[in-house]
Copies of this chain bind each other. A is one copy, B any other.
Amino acid sequence: MRVSELVERSGVPLASIKYYLREGLLMPGESTGATQARYDERHLKRLRLIKALTDVVGLSVQKAREVIAVIDEPVADPFDNLGRAIAALPPYTDATGDAPRARAVLERLGQVCDPSYAGVAQLERALEAAEAAGMPMSDERLAVYGEHVRAIAEFDISGVPDDPAAAVEYSVIGTTLYEPVLLAMRRLAHHDAAYRRLRGAEPGSAEPSAG
């Protein structure tokens, strides 16, 4: 397809497409003349990914490029590719020091603890904040969360495609776009459980009158 059709089908303005081409986020089309090029479904798919990363996840173009670089130039080890891609996602933390709370949790859960992985500092900060607010996570709560989060993660990882580029795309979208789904589902499950407990409704019973 021509670039005009790419604009129409992707909903991305021409100026942005040119910018992504210049910055290397979008791969060049097949040249069909001095000022023309042909694009295909790969370009549409890539634009959809760029839109998700910048508009929905809120990444800067620079950070989106880091993710895309992993897709375009994967290293041999698929595990390292995932690590590189996830490291380009928020929340960012420059903490690389000791993470005693996170380490203790991971040890109890029997999970690998690699302090160079950004998630370790992320967990440490989150545990610290709950502590500072006077409501530290109890061991019992960590065990319950850990068990069920683990089951969700096993399901997620079982779906990682074998193709390295597809694996990175799956992991990045699955991390950033399913996180808000998970949080909304938790709030709604709270709503449901509180409704049943506080209003004394029967499980599986009807809807509240509100709405």
Which residues of chain A have a CB within 8 Å of any CB of chain B?
45, 48-49, 51-52, 56, 77-79, 82-83, 86, 91, 102, 105-106, 110-120, 122-123, 125-127, 129-130, 132-135, 137, 141, 144-146, 148-157, 160, 170-171, 173-175, 177-195, 197-199, 201, 203-204, 207-208, 210-211
Contacts and interface: CB of A to CB of B under 8 A. Distances in A.
Nearest to A208: B114
21 contacts: A49-B133, A51-B132, A52-B129, A79-B199, A102-B184, A102-B188, A110-B204, A114-B210, A122-B184, A130-B178, A134-B173, A135-B173, A137-B178, A144-B151, A145-B178, A149-B182, A150-B193, A152-B189, A156-B193, A157-B193, A157-B194
A120 B191 CA distance: 10
A36 B122 CA distance: 43
Q: How many copies does the complex hold?
A: 2
Contacts of A56: 129, 132-133
Contact of A160 (B78, B173, B197, B210): B197
B130 A173 contact: yes
A156 B186 CA distance: 10
A8 B185 CA distance: 40
Nearest to A199: B79
Contacts of A82: 194, 198
A45 B184 CA distance: 28
A133 B191 contact: no
A157 B149 CA distance: 17
